[in-house]
Amino acid sequence: MNPEPTLSGVEVTLFGPLAASVLRLLDQRYDNVTAVSAPSAGTVVTIADIDQAGERAVLNLLWDTGHQVRSVRRQSQ
């Protein structure tokens, strides 16, 4: 018997901007996606409800599309 995956939030900080096409894809795949950019601080992408496999998929997508990840922070609920 497999337990249900635990959902939590994740905050990924990038060096530089997030490509609009990647943001659209994240919006299609996940609920409650926000991206906030600051010229000198990069971009913070927040996804409210995501499991560990989803977090890994997001990181792979970002890396595969040439984004540089500065930090990843898990938000407990």
- 43-76 pLDDT, tens digit each: 999 999 999 999 999 999 999 999 999 999 998 7
Once rounded to an integer, what is the mean pLDDT over residues 34-51? 92
17-33 pLDDT per residue, tens: 999 999 999 999 999 99
Q: Which of 47, 5, 39 is nearest to 22 (CA)?
A: 47
pTM: 0.86
φ/ψ of residue 46, rounded to 5: -120, 130
Please tell me the distance from the alpha carbon of residue 54 to that of residue 47, in angstroms, as a whole number.
Answer: 10
Torsion of CA 58, 42, 72, 62, to 10 degrees: 20
DSSP 1: -
- Checking if the pLDDT of 10 tops 60, the result is yes
